[in-house]
């Protein structure tokens, strides 16, 4: 059965040995974030963390590292915890084929139990806020799903957006949000400001695990995240109507914050330790006026530690970055076999493809740069042959070592767009991009000296199975 809220998923994580309850009293800083930082270093079976004894807070409940391992990610998709990375991505692709699955409207959402409105709004009374890194400019909400609609076409559910954006707490009823220009909410805001209007938003915290996955998925502008959630869940995603804005929000959220992004208002936001593993500096960003907070009794604050990869964000944005790129490339180039965009949200993309003719791999690389996600992220694209597994880095390095000639196989595309957080850009938002062709030259390209390639012996696969069975007995 799919999970309708965060609490049911946390229960499963605990039953599967994938949640640690920290019962000792901890300091809000640095203990909560430092523990999540440390948990990420435990590898592909790292557990989620649950804190309910935080010094200085009454009845604080904080969940960290919920998606922070391949084991937890597998359980979020309803798969066995031991499911491997490539198998999870293959299953993601299979379920994507069921997209779209319309969401299901439900009454009586649990977040409607308690309400703050108007002058009574005070986010500090609802959330046990803590800083994540010692250089952060303030408290952040960084794993919320933010819901908005296209002001020019508000009835078009395909153009609504559910996305994860960093949000700095500026006051008890005031937030700052960073809308990266390539993201849908930035387009919504631009249209609202052109109309001279504010943009209504609903910020939902503590969501079921699939909502967090789809909110971090780089979908096309007119694709609905709730419809993808239904495909991944194998059942319609439950949603409810936010009482103030009327926006569709997850039924099972812990907290729903409603308000508006104030048109043409900007304030300094940052610094913040980002998913790039670097701090971003202070910038003038949009401001949200909070008008209503709805929340469950004793809400769980789900927080997300970001830092030097890999951390939870890298697991959260791994499969769901690979698959949209794979689908979009396959639509134009059916020869594409696999796409690995797991590294830093796809700043590096590795594509495995068959080759039609000379120069084909470079064309595939150029197409990556023009996908919706590639426009703002893919800074380096490595293209390898179909016999190279892009998820097997030793194989990728072998292809780079033996099939790439720097004289001919490096394509630099100057002055391309990139998200402003990319630290390698001299001018924020602009970078030269690189395509590396690490494929075997095909006719009419006759470069290199490629004889017969060494292949695995025909009996090797059978022996691999036998050896694994033997190893499992010891």
Give how far Cα 5 sits from Cα of 67, 106, 252, 353, Å.
Answer: 14, 13, 4, 39
Task: Kindly state the tokens that stand for 432.
Answer: 């030269």
Distance in angstroms (rounded) separating the CA atoms of residues 403 and 437: 8
Q: CA 299 from chain center: how many Å?
A: 23
Distance in angstroms (rounded) separating the CA atoms of residues 464 and 126: 54
Burial of 180 (0-12, 13-18, 19+ CB in 10 A): middle
Classify 266 as helix, strand or coil. Answer: strand
| Ordered strands of the 248-250 beta sheet | 104-105, 238-241, 248-250
Q: CA 223 from chain center: how many Å?
A: 16
Distance in angstroms (rounded) separating the CA atoms of residues 269 and 170: 9
* Angle at alpha carbon of residue 110, lines to 109 and 116, rounded to 5°: 100
Distance in angstroms (rounded) separating the CA atoms of residues 11 and 233: 17
| Beta-sheet pairing, 238-241 with 199-205 | unpaired
Task: Kindly state the tokens that stand for 78.
Answer: 């309803």
Could you say which DSSP state residue 217 is in?
Answer: S
Active site residues: 274
Other CB atoms within a 10 A radius of the CB of residue 129 amount to 18
User: In sequence order, what are the beta bridge partners of 340?
Assistant: 350
Strands (E), 354-445: 380-385, 410-417, 430-438
Could you say which DSSP state residue 42 is in?
Answer: G
* Angle at alpha carbon of residue 406, lines to 328 and 434, rounded to 5°: 35
Q: Rounded to 5 degrees, what are φ and ψ at 241?
A: -90, 125
């Amino acid at each position: 059965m799919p999970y309708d809220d965060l609490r049911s998923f946390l229960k499963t994580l605990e039953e599967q040995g994938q949640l640690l309850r920290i019962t000792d009293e901890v300091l809000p800083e640095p203990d909560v974030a430092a523990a999540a930082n440390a948990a990420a270093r435990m590898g592909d079976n790292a557990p989620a963390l649950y804190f309910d004894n935080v010094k200085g807070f009454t009845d604080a409940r904080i969940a960290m590292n919920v998606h922070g391992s391949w084991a937890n990610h597998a359980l979020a998709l309803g798969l066995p915890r031991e499911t491997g990375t490539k198998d999870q991505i293959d299953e993601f692709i299979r379920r994507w084929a069921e997209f779209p699955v319309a969401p299901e409207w439900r009454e009586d959402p649990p977040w409607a139990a308690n309400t703050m409105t108007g002058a009574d709004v005070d986010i500090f009374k609802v959330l046990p806020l803590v800083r994540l890194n010692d250089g952060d400019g303030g408290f952040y909400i960084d794993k919320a799903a933010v819901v908005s609609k296209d002001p020019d076409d508000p009835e078009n559910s395909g153009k609504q957006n559910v996305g994860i954006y960093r949000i700095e707490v500026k006051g008890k009823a005031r937030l700052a949000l960073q809308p990266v220009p390539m993201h849908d909410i930035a387009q919504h805001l631009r249209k609202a400001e052109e109309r001279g209007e504010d943009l209504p938003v609903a910020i939902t915290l503590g969501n079921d695990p699939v909502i967090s996955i789809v909110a971090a998925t780089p979908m096309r502008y007119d694709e609905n995240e709730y419809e993808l959630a239904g495909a991944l869940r194998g059942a319609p995603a439950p949603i409810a109507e936010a009482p103030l804005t009327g926006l569709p929000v997850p039924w099972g959220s812990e907290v729903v914050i409603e308000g508006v992004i104030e048109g043409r208002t900007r304030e300094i936001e940052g610094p913040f330790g980002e998913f790039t593993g670097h701090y971003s500096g202070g910038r003038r960003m949009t401001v949200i006026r909070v008008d209503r907070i709805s929340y469950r009794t004793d809400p769980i604050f789900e927080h997300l530690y970001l830092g030097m990869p890999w951390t939870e964000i890298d697991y959260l944005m791994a499969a769901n970055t690979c698959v949209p790129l794979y689908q979009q490339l396959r639509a134009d180039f059916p020869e594409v076999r696999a796409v690995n965009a797991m590294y830093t949200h796809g700043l590096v993309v590795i594509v495995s493809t068959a080759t039609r003719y000379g120069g084909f791999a470079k064309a595939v690389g150029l197409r990556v740069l023009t996908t919706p996600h590639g426009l703002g992220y893919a800074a380096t694209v490595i293209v390898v042959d179909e016999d190279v597994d892009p998820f097997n880095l030793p194989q990728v390095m072998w292809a780079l070592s033996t099939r790439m000639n720097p004289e001919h196989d490096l394509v630099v595309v100057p002055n391309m767009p990139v998200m402003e957080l990319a630290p390698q850009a001299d001018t924020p938002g602009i970078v030269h991009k690189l395509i590396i062709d690490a494929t075997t030259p095909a006719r009419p390209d006759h470069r290199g000296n490629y004889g017969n390639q060494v292949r695995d012996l025909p009996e090797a696969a059978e022996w691999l199975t036998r050896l694994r069975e033997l190893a499992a007995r010891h």
